[in-house]
Amino acid sequence: MVGPLQVAERLHATDDKLVTPGPMLLMGAPGVGKGTQAKGIMAAWGIPQISTGDLLRDHRDRGTPLGLVATQIMNSGKLVPDDLVNQMVAERLAQPDTARGYILDGYPRTLAQAEWLDNRLGAIPGGLPLIAVSIRVSYTQLLRRITGRRNCPTCQRIYNVYLQPPKVDTVCDVEGTPLVQRADDTEAVFHERMRTYTALTAPVVEHYRASSRFVEVDGEQPADEVMAGIMAAVARLRSQN
Ligand code: AMP
């Protein structure tokens, strides 16, 4: 199996110019693999993954006012209000580690968020334009990926009881810690998240499809191939800047 770093080395071997990834976003329904891809690209290109889901879960775990508002909404499969999420993203984008680029994962999820982001990026003089990546996976596969997903609360490794089970029962291979399931990864909440996705987030994909910096990939291929496809497309689009 080829890991993210080997994929990155291969890309650099065929392309003398070091890629400056700039701002990019990963879109797709719950379970398409945005988080997995973002983590791989982050490791390969050294730019941060900005997952609004992770940022919100962090607020929840720290018991901040935003976390208290967000928890119930997240557990029901609905979306946290745009202005709260935009504000959280603005604070994260102000951090210096975003200078060479970043990967937005799970944001924007509504047209209002997309417009806010477009305006913000458009207001940065000389800033690289956004590249939007859409990952497609069938409904049945998404259901298995989401309802089978478990993670280790100690090291955050992700397993799937159907597709990638741990070696023993439901404990982490590395830590031996019992795996946990996210409260919103049940089948009932999955269907609600898909309804939310179709109504509010699918139009965001169409919004970016109309731009010249849009890439669509088949998320049912092995994860390494999906990643190689995304990185090659981003490198090609950046070379045309
Ligand atoms: P995720 O981990 O990306 O699947 O997000 C988990 C949950 O966090 C979602 O179901 C929403 O309730 C909330 N959330 C994450 N990102 C956003 C966003 N961009 N806008 C609104 N709510 C969000």
Average pLDDT per consecutive 10 residues, the chain (241 residues; last block may be shorter): 48 55 95 93 95 95 95 92 97 95 96 97 91 96 94 93 93 97 92 95 96 95 95 92 64
Residues 66-97: tens digit of each pLDDT: 999 999 999 988 999 999 999 999 999 999 99
Residue 240: the pLDDT is: 83
Cα–Cα distances in Å, from 56 out to 75, 92, 123, 177, 210?
Answer: 12, 12, 26, 24, 30
Please indicate whether residue 193, judged by its CB atom, sits closer than 6 Å to ligand 1: yes
Please indicate whether residue 52, judged by its CB atom, sits closer than 6 Å to ligand 1: yes
State pTM to two decimals. 0.86
Q: 24 C-alpha vs ligand 1 centroid, how far in Å?
A: 18
Closest CA to 23 of 107, 132, 177: 132
| DSSP assigned state of 39 | H
Residue 195 catalytic?
Answer: no
Please indicate whether residue 215, judged by its CB atom, sits closer than 6 Å to ligand 1: no
Residue 109 catalytic?
Answer: yes
Q: Name the active-site residue from 39, 92, 145, 149.
A: 149
Residue 200: the pLDDT is: 96
Residues 102-127: tens digit of each pLDDT: 999 999 999 999 999 999 999 988 88
Non-local (6+) Cβ contacts of 151 within 8 A are: 157, 158, 159, 179, 180, 182
Q: 104 C-alpha vs ligand 1 centroid, how far in Å?
A: 12
- Distance CA(11)–CA(111), nearest Å, equals 33
